[in-house]
Amino acid sequence: MYVAVKGGEAAIANAHRLLAESRRGDVSVPDLSVAQIREQMALLVDRVMTEGSLHDPDLAALALKQARGDLIEAVFLVRAYRTTLPRFGASEPVETGAMTLRRRISATYKDLPGGQVLGPTFDYTHRLIDFALAAEGEAPVAEEAEPLADAAHAPRVTDLLGHDGLIEPSAPDDGTPPGDLTREPLDFPADRALRLQALARGDEGFVLALGYSTQRGYGRTHPFVGEIRVGTVAVEFVPEELGFPVPLGEVALTECQMVNQFHGSAETPPQFTRGYGLAFGQSERKAMAMALVDRALRAEELGEPVGAPAQDQEFVLAHCDALQATGFVEHLKLPHYVDFQAELELVRRLRAEHAARHAPSETEMKEAAE
């Protein structure tokens, strides 16, 4: 069997060379640069960063190039890369209330301090293919306007509701560091911080479908988009040797505050409850879906009946990671020759036994003849 192994090696090496050539595609078409991917496939780059759980736009763009645009393969590359790096520590929690906004909308209040700012959005476009993009041309120039005086201060919608006690307050920071599923394997039941970490890196399609399922009746949560904000926040880190927060730079984030109904209980007067979503870059669909599923996963905590898939944290958290899912599904295509040989032997033996049981015996044959 050693010969077969050698043959496999050559085939694998050649397959990888063929992959490299195929990745490049038609050489008469200009090569795509990493910067082009970063700038012009920005939302895909954001998704690779979010699901790869690693903020680095250039790296995500490079991973996409290497993966030929295969999102989950790019996530795989990014996740593999991060395992080669030391962990310096954890940042101070980012202050999304102080975000430099690119977009900020609310479906619950028309008039808000700071206003409703659409920013760069696909909303309200006609979704007609723009053939002009297929032709080379001048880059379009955005309109400008004088920012209004209150533009710099945009309090969270949940803060506005919170002043009147109409919405539950967030659980206060008691100083305990949050669990980290990249350090400790996920254990059930997982607290909300761990659930949010898992959902943040979870597959957008899976989380979206689960969020959708709650809207269709599998664990209803009566959601309103309290607010979606997209923009940049400063990240700070306290190095041990310095002992003060060092500004690392800015990252782009999308935050979704979902406002959900709650009927109250003997102890709690009726008030709105919350679902929360946060993702790297402009990842609005992901942040919204995450907020829906976050709220659904709080069913037990809020005394709601638990039964729908989106409310089952073991089901949701154990299956939301695209890399884990693809690893287990795709491993099926790897050689299982020995396993299958064993199964084959077993089926053959069972068939033989079955045949022996059901074959007419000699006495039966004689009786039938008479």
Partner 1 sequence: MPDHTPSPAETPDLAARRAVMALCGAARAEELRDALAEVGTPGEPEDLRPPETGLVMTRGRIGGDGRPFNLGEATVTRAAVRLASGETGFAYHLGRDRAKARLAATLDALWQRPELRAPVEAALAPVAARRTAEREAEARRIAATRVNFFTMARGED
* Residue from 66, 91, 108, 326 in contact with partner 1 (CB under 8 A): 91
- Alpha carbons 111 and 150: distance in angstroms, whole number: 12
User: For partner 1, which is the closer residue by CB, 2 or 122?
Assistant: 122
* Residue from 1, 6, 86, 334 in contact with partner 1 (CB under 8 A): 86
Q: Is 328 in the site for partner 1 (CB under 8 A)?
A: no
Contact window for partner 1 (CB under 8 A) among 35-43, 213-221, 270-278, 361-369: 270-278
End-to-end CA distance of the chain: 57
User: For partner 1, which is the closer residue by CB, 54 or 317?
Assistant: 54
**Could you write out the DSSP letters of every residue in 275-330?**
EEEEEESS-HHHHHHHHHHHHHTTTTTTT----SGGG-HHHHHHH--HHHHHHHHH
Closest CA to 259 of 269, 270, 268, 272: 272
Reading the block at residue 155, the tokens are: 């309090």
* Residue from 15, 248, 344, 350 in contact with partner 1 (CB under 8 A): 248
- Alpha carbons 17 and 260: distance in angstroms, whole number: 53
Residues that contact partner 1, how many (by CB under 8 A):
87
Reading the block at residue 142, the tokens are: 């955005």
**Residue 62 near residue 34, CB atoms below 8 Å:** yes
Reading the block at residue 154, the tokens are: 């945009």
User: For partner 1, which is the closer residue by CB, 33 or 170?
Assistant: 170
Q: Is 262 in the site for partner 1 (CB under 8 A)?
A: no
The DSSP code for 347 is H
Contact window for partner 1 (CB under 8 A) among 83-91, 302-310, 330-338, 341-349: 83-91
Q: Is 56 in the site for partner 1 (CB under 8 A)?
A: yes
Residues whose CB falls within 8 Å of the CB of residue 25, separated by 6 or more in sequence, listed in order = none
Q: Is 149 in the site for partner 1 (CB under 8 A)?
A: no
3-state SS class at 12: helix
Angle between helices 42-52 and 204-215 (to 10 degrees): 90
- Residue 181's φ and ψ, nearest 5 degrees, are -75, -5
Q: Is 186 in the site for partner 1 (CB under 8 A)?
A: no
Strand partners, 228: 105, 256
* Residue from 32, 55, 166, 222 in contact with partner 1 (CB under 8 A): 55
Helical (H) or strand (E) element with 101? strand 100-105
The DSSP code for 98 is G
Strand partners, 246: 237
Q: Is 254 in the site for partner 1 (CB under 8 A)?
A: no
For tokens 């050689």, the residue is: 335
* Residue from 32, 42, 96, 225 in contact with partner 1 (CB under 8 A): 96
Q: Is 225 in the site for partner 1 (CB under 8 A)?
A: no
Residues 341-370 binding partner 1 (CB under 8 A) are none
* Residue from 72, 196, 210, 308 in contact with partner 1 (CB under 8 A): 196
* Residue from 73, 108, 192, 205 in contact with partner 1 (CB under 8 A): 192
Residues 291-320 binding partner 1 (CB under 8 A) are none
* Residue from 1, 132, 149, 171 in contact with partner 1 (CB under 8 A): 171
Q: Is 101 in the site for partner 1 (CB under 8 A)?
A: yes
Contact window for partner 1 (CB under 8 A) among 12-20, 63-71, 237-245, 336-344: 237-245
* Residue from 30, 217, 243, 305 in contact with partner 1 (CB under 8 A): 243
Residues 274-293 binding partner 1 (CB under 8 A) are 274, 276, 278-280
Residues whose CB falls within 8 Å of the CB of residue 88, separated by 6 or more in sequence, listed in order = 237, 239
Q: Is 228 in the site for partner 1 (CB under 8 A)?
A: no
User: For partner 1, which is the closer residue by CB, 110 or 331?
Assistant: 110
Nearest distance in Å: CB 332, partner 1: 29
Reading the block at residue 7, the tokens are: 């043959």
What number of other Cβ atoms are within 10 A of residue 321's Cβ?
A: 22
Q: Is 140 in the site for partner 1 (CB under 8 A)?
A: no
